Structure 1
C-alpha cells in the first residue's frame, strides 16, 4: 500500500507542509486499553514475535488518534539477543541484562547480527504494515551504541552510569571496540528495516545526556558519524533523539542527520537561536498531558507557533507517552495540532 498521507516525510526533508505533522514516541501501547488487555496475556517480546499482533499494536494509534506516522512496536533491546546479550524486560523495571559486559573479553564474545535470520518477525511485521495496512509512513528505529552499552554494562537501567563511564575512561580501547560492534549491529539492523519498508528511522540515544560535551565529542561522536554516514545513502530521513541532552545539540547538529529531536528542556526558539537549521521534532513535556486541557492547549499552541516560524517542524512529545496519559487526550491533542497549524 502506498501511503496516502506523506506530510511527515515532507517535513522530515525540510519542505513546506500544509499543517504541522505529529506522531508520539511510545504512541503504540502504554496507555491504550486494547494494548493493556494484550499485555495481560503476552510479554513485549512475545508480541513482537507475532507479526499480525505486532502490526495491530503498531497501527492502533494511527487509527485511534489520527497521527501522521506509525512507529514500529518493539524495543531497542530487540536485536541484542542475536549478538549474545541475555536480556529480559521486567515489568516496572525495564531491561535486565543477565550477562553484563565487564571487560574486553566479554566484548570479544559478542557476535554479529543477520537480521532476516535472527529477527525475521521484525521485518515480517514491517512488510505487513507497509504493504497492506498503513496509510501513513512507518518509522523504524534502533538504540544508539552509548544507550545500548549503558544497559549492557550496568546490567539494567541506571541513574548515574558509573560502570559505563568507568569502562569508557579506564579502557578506551575496549570502549571503542564495543562502540564499533554496536555500530555494525545498528547499521545492519536499520538497513534491513529500510529494505523491508520503513520510510524513516529514529536513533534513540536516550541516555547519552549523562556525558559532558567534551566526552561526547571524544567517545561518542565518531561512532555516530560513522552510523549516519553509512545510512545516508539509504535515502530515508534519519532522526536523532535523546533525553537531557540540550548541551549536546550543537554536536548533534554537526552530524549527518536529517532531523534533530528535542526533549522539553530546550525550546525550538532556543535551538534556532543556536544556529540549528535542521528540521526539529518535539517537544511537549509528557507530564503536561496530565494537566487541565486549557494548559495543554496553551503549551501546544506555543510550540506550534515557534515551529511554524521555520518550514520544518514535526510535533512530538519531549519523551514517550506514559501509561497514565489518556488516549482521549492524545486524540484531542492530535486534532488540535492539525487544526491550529492549518
Structure 2
C-alpha cells in the first residue's frame, strides 16, 4: 500500500487558534516569563473526577472519543474544576488506528486490544492510513473545547508515537515486557521498519488535523519507549519521531515529547525535534536539563547556546497527591526549585508544571486543585 504525503494547511491552523500570545503555557514554551507558572496534568480529564465517571457511565471509551459533545465536555471538566492553564484533548493513542478501520477495542481493565496483530511485512505494508474525513468528530469536538476556554488557556492535542503504537499492533494488546515487539524488531528489522513507515503518516495526519482544527500545542506521547536502550531507540525509533516533529514544524506551535521511564533517553528524545521535553518523576528537572542540553550540544556543536535549550515539562510523582497538603506543597516547591535552577544555569528556557506521568484514578480531585493553586503561587 502506498501512503500519500500529508499536506499541511498552515493558514487554517493559524486562523482557528484563539489563545492569547502571552498565555502562560505559550510564554513558558517560548522561554518568555509567564504571568504565572503554567500547570496542567496528564490524564487530568478522567477517572479521578466524579463528573467524568457520571458522563462515562454507559459510554465506551472509544465511543466517547468519537462523540464531539462528549469529547468537548470531558476535555473541559478539569479545566473548569482546577483552573488549569491547558486542556489536553480527551482522546486515546489508538484513535487514529480505530478511525482508519483497524479492528481494535479498548477493553476495560486491560487496554487496547487488536484483533489481528501485525507481524509480517505484508500486514505492515497493508496497514491502512487514516484520512482527514475519518477524523471529523475530533475536529468538531475541538471546536467545542475552544469555545469553552479563556484566551489565557490553551488546548493541547496529542498522539501516540510510532514505537508505542507499533507495540500494541505487534503484541495484540498491552504487554509488560514487549517481548514480541522487540523480538520482531531484532529478528526482522525489515518488517519493523515497514511497520514504522506505515504508521508515521497516520500519526502526522492525526496531529495535523488537530493543529488545523485550532489546538495550540501538540504532544507526541511515547508510552513504552522507556523499555528501549538508547542504541535501539536511535536505530529503530528516532528516525520516525524526528520525521513527525519536522512535519509539524510549519504550524509554529509548541511540540512536546514525553515518555515514561525515559531518563536514559531524554537527550535522544530532545534531539529528534521537540520544543518541550516532558520528564517523568524519576529524574530531577535540573539533572534532566543537563542531559538534554549536553545531547543537543553534541548533536549540533556549531549551534548557538539558545538552540541547546528546551522548555521542561514535569515532573511531580503522581503518588505525592495522596500524601496530604503539606507534602504536596513541599514537593511542588521542590520541583519548581529544580526547574528554576536549570533555567538560572542556562540549561533550560522555561518550565511547564506537570506530573511525571498521569493522574491516578483514585486521586482526590481536591488534592489536584490544591496542587494547581500551589504551582500558581511559585
The two structures have a TM-score, normalised by structure 1, of 0.96
1:269-280 counterparts in 2 under 5 A? 269-274=286-291, 276=293, 277-280=309-312
Mapped partners of 2:292, 2:234: distance in 1: 19
1:161-310 counterparts in 2 under 5 A? 161-274=178-291, 276=293, 277-309=309-341, 310=343
Counterpart of 1:36?
53
Counterpart of 1:81?
98
Mapped partners of 1:294, 1:39: distance in 2: 33
Mapped partners of 1:219, 1:83: distance in 2: 24
CA offset digits 1:41-89 (Å, max 9, x no partner): 1111121222112101101111000010001101111110233421111
Mapped partners of 1:21, 1:43: distance in 2: 32
Q: 1:14 to 1:104 in 2, by over 3 A?
A: same
Find out whether 1:325 has 2:363 as its counterpart: yes
Shift of 1:275: 5.1
CA offset digits 1:133-154 (Å, max 9, x no partner): 2111100000000000001111
Q: 1:294 to 1:227 in 2, by over 3 A?
A: same
Unaligned runs of 5+ in 2: 1-16, 294-308, 344-348
Shift of 1:164: 0.5
CA offset digits 1:200-231 (Å, max 9, x no partner): 00000010111101111111111111111111
Is residue 84–residue 110 contact of structure 1 (8 Å, CA) maintained in 2?
no
**Superposition RMSD in Å:** 1.4
Q: Which runs of 4+ in 1 moved over 4 A?
A: none
Is residue 7–residue 68 contact of structure 1 (8 Å, CA) maintained in 2?
yes
Counterpart of 2:353?
315
Find out whether 1:127 has 2:143 as its counterpart: yes
When structure 1 is superposed on structure 2, of 231-240 and 292-301 the one drifting more is 292-301
CA offset digits 1:175-196 (Å, max 9, x no partner): 1111111111111111111000
When structure 1 is superposed on structure 2, of 234-243 and 247-256 the one drifting more is 247-256
Mapped partners of 1:34, 1:128: distance in 2: 18
Give the alignment partner of residue 107 of structure 2, picking from 90, 97, 110.
90
CA offset digits 1:220-279 (Å, max 9, x no partner): 111111111111111111000000011101112212210000000111111123352310
Q: 1:62 to 1:175 in 2, by over 3 A?
A: same
Mapped partners of 1:73, 1:49: distance in 2: 10
Is residue 325–residue 370 contact of structure 2 (8 Å, CA) maintained in 1?
no
Mapped partners of 2:267, 2:156: distance in 1: 25
Unaligned runs of 5+ in 1: none
